Each structure stands twice: as C-alpha cells, then as structure tokens.
Amino acid sequence: MSWLFFLILLLINMLAFYAYRKLSLMRSLSQIQAEVELEMQSRAHQLLVRRDQLEVGLVKEASEQADEQWKGDLAEYMEEFEQEALLRAKQRLTRI
C-alpha cells in the first residue's frame, strides 16, 4: 500500500515537472522574442539616423546612390519585420 501512495506522489511530481518544463519553454520563447525585438529596434534606429543624415545632406558623395541603398535597406527591414510578425503569430497560436 505504501508503494501505491508513493507512486501517486511520484505521478503528481512528474506532472509538476511537466508544468515546469512548459513554463521554462515559455521563458526561452520570451527571451528569443525580446532579443529579436531589441535587434529590430536597433536596426530601425540606424535606418532613421541614416535618413536624417541623407536629408540634412551629410552624405554628400553619391547621394542618389546612398538614397537608393537606404530604400533597399528599408525594404529588407520591412520584409524581415513582416516575417517576424508572422513567425510570432504562428508561435503564439501553436504555443505548447
């Protein structure tokens, strides 16, 4: 009988560990998202700084080429941003 009670306790412990694993998984997902957010924010900031420089006229040499380059980088950023949003939506919908 004592073994049966012990096994019941062990089963509840395993369920507790399972819930803990899920919580840990959520923690790692949150950390990845926070890192991605920080990286995207930093890139957006860099793009804005470059735009300001272009508008003020700090980038004198080949300004048209620099403008094209900036537009290309912005398009790339927007595309990655959209993909990231889709990925996160997918993650949240299928999360655990």
Partner 1 sequence: MGWDTIEALLFDLGKLVFVAYFLLFVLSVFVERKVSSLVISLMVLAVANGAMTALTPLLYELASMPGLFYKFLWYGVFVFIDCIAIFLLYKFHNLLRQSVSSIASIIAVAFLALASIQTLRFFDRFVSNTEVFQLVYQYGVPMINIMLVPLIAIFWAVNLKSANKNVQAAPG
The contacts found for 87-95 with CB under 8 angstroms, 24 or more apart, are: 88/33, 91/29, 95/26, 95/29
With binding defined as CB under 8 A, does residue 94 bind partner 1? no
Contact 85, 40 (CB under 8 A): no
52-91 binders of partner 1 (CB under 8 A):
none
Q: What is the dihedral of CA 54, 55, 60, 62, to 10 degrees?
A: 60
Stretch 30-59: interaction string toward partner 1, x if CB under 8 A: xx-xx------xx--x--------------
Stretch 8-27: interaction string toward partner 1, x if CB under 8 A: xxx-xx-xxx-xx-xxx-xx
Which positions touch partner 1 (CB under 8 A)?
1-3, 5-6, 8-10, 12-13, 15-17, 19-20, 22-24, 26-27, 30-31, 33-34, 41-42, 45, 92, 95-96
